[in-house]
Amino acid sequence: MLKYVFLFLLLVSQPLEGADTLINSGCSKDYLGVEWFIYEDADGNRYSTKDPRSWECGFSRYLNLSMQKDAGDRFDPAIVNVDYRDMLDRDEPWGMVHHSTTVGKAVRVGRDTVHIFGDGRTGDGIFTLGREEIQFRIEEEPVCEVDSRIDCEGHTQNSSQDLIYYREDDDRVVTWELGVLVYASHRDYGEDVPVEILEELDEEHPQWDKWEKRVAEYNKVYALSGVHIQYKLAKLYLAHWHSLYDVGTMTTGKPVDVVLGYGTSYVDTCGVAKVKRHFSEGKPPYSMSRCTIYTDLHEIGHSIGLAHGPENQLWQQTGYLFSGFGHGWNDICNGKDDLMSYGREGVFHSNSKLYCDEIFGDWYPAILAGGREWSDTAHALNRVRYNVSLVHKENDYIDPDHRLRPIQSKARRIGIEVID
């Protein structure tokens, strides 16, 4: 009992939080916005505190919005400058909690800017932050028009689709959402395994980590080659199929931009692909592979219009989409081959803007690693990157009125199947 009495006396002998008495308060005569407080504690000791942001004493903040770039689209944003300061011209912290846009998607970038990207709708919009608002505009993406199979750069293009195009030196990196089908074999799943997607594998599945590492290797090859595309593993499925056609059928409408079936191919081949020269929403280019990462990228390359090349060891073919340069080549950089060719060192994409020593180091000659007159598969990939990224329009606005349903075309395109 005595220890509880002692503990009680000890507690009451300490000054209780909040028990100090406010003696006086007032606004500073020397500093605008500062309020002083004088307190007295239980022992009669006095001390002072201050609030440097007292609204009662004149503290105020000012928010100004201005347009750095008043128009944007889904890839090239409208840009808003945000200037938020107090009355002494000091920067104030701010966030995006209280913001809205009537069209597009707003993303804070850095300390004082907001980027507004298109969401599939076009026209004038209003961006609101706090109580301030400003007008911007979302437009259609610019395109490289094709006239009589000649595009805006003067190259032959074997497609009537006007591809999204900003400028020759555009180096913006675009994300391709990759869907992977992992082959479920008869040996592992029995003779009666159906031709279908058996299971979606999530991020907790051991296969996910394996494939994220493989995708990271794809991205290294692209970065090395000056290809402005980065893959993102978006979907991973366990599936069984008998043909390339099955891969395409199973993945039509899936939320991905590109599809790779992995683990099997046709007899005596490492891979096969269905060539596309026109890119449509909900119809991802597809291929399958069972060998190295370079085989994967080789087949994906076929699926978006790249070919082996006119001087390839077998199956000579100029670019399916860009016949002048959209194909591989052998022995470009002292034995290093474009990975679309059949060369033993097919480890990169040819690029007319890079030199061999820039890609592979000082031991290689300072000669161009490609040319628009013979092979530039990096440029071919860069030319289609925006349109392929819109096969799945993950950032587009969805009309909440479910009565508005798009009309699905029943037209079929006759494609080309490439077997390697």
CA angle at 375 for the pair 374 and 381, rounded to the nearest 5°: 145
Of the candidate CATH numbers 2.60.40.10, 3.10.450.50, 3.40.50.300, 2.60.40.1120, the domain formed by 63-138 belongs to 2.60.40.10
**164-173 own/partner pairs: CB under 8 Å, 24+ apart:** 164/75, 164/386, 164/387, 165/383, 165/386, 166/75, 166/76, 166/142, 170/228, 170/382, 171/228, 172/75, 172/76, 172/228, 173/228, 173/229, 173/230
What are the two backbone dihedrals, phi and then psi, of residue 385, each rounded to the nearest 5 degrees? -60, -35
Q: What is the pLDDT of residues 93-145, one digit of tens each?
A: 888 988 999 999 999 999 999 999 999 999 999 999 998 999 999 999 999 99
| Strand residues in 132-173 grouped as ranges (E) | 132-138, 143-144, 163-164
Q: Please, what is the angle between helix 293-303 and helix 206-225, to 10°?
A: 70
Give the per-residue pLDDT at 18. 54
User: Percent of the chain at pLDDT above 70?
Assistant: 91
Residues 6 or more apart whose CB falls under 8 angstroms from that of 162 comprise 143, 144, 145, 146
Check residue 343 and give its pLDDT: 87
Sign of CA dihedral 364, 367, 372, 374: negative
Give just the sign of the alpha carbon dihedral 104, 110, 111, 113: negative
Assess contact for 340 and 325: CB atoms under 8 A. no
The β-bridge relationship of strands 71-72 and 132-138 is: parallel
Percent of the chain with pLDDT over 90: 75
CA distance 395 to 310: 39
Is the pLDDT assigned to residue 9 strictly greater than 70?
no
Instruction: Grade residue 87 by pLDDT with cuts at 50, 70 and 90.
Output: confident
Distance CA 222, CA 387 (A): 18
Over residues 351-362, mean pLDDT: 96
How far apart CA 261 and CA 249 sit, in angstroms, is 12
Residue with the larger pLDDT of the pair 147 and 416: 147
Q: Where are the beta strands (DSSP E) in 173-327?
A: 174-183, 196-200, 229-240, 258-262, 271-275, 286-289
List pLDDT tens digits, range 394-420. Answer: 888 776 654 444 434 333 344 577 777
Domain spans in the chain, listed from the N-terminal domain onward: 19-59, 63-138, 163-397+407-419
Nearest to 374 by CA among 331, 417, 414, 404: 331
Name the CATH code of domain 163-397+407-419 (choices 3.40.630.30, 3.50.50.60, 3.40.190.10, 3.40.390.10): 3.40.390.10
Residue 125 near residue 136, CB atoms below 8 Å: yes
- CA neighbor of 412 nearest in space, from 280, 224, 254: 280
* Residue 12, pLDDT score: 34
pLDDT in the model for residue 334:
92
Report the range of poorest mean pLDDT among 36-50, 110-124, 218-232: 36-50
Mean model confidence pLDDT for the chain: 90
Which has the closest alpha carbon to 320: 340, 335, 337, 338? 340
The strands making up 132-138's β-sheet, listed across from edge to edge, are 71-72, 132-138, 123-129, 99-101
Give the DSSP letter of residue 19.
Answer: -
Spatial contact of 224 and 216, defined as CB atoms under 8 Å apart: no
Task: Provide the pLDDT for residue 399.
Answer: 67
- What are 109's strand-pairing partners? 113
Report whether pLDDT(3) > 50. no
pLDDT in tens, 320-339: 999 999 999 999 999 999 99
How far is it, in rounded angstroms, from Cα 328 to Cα 348? 10
Residue-level pLDDT at 10? 33
**Which of residues 35 and 1 earns the better pLDDT score?**
35
Token duo for residue 264: 């099997």
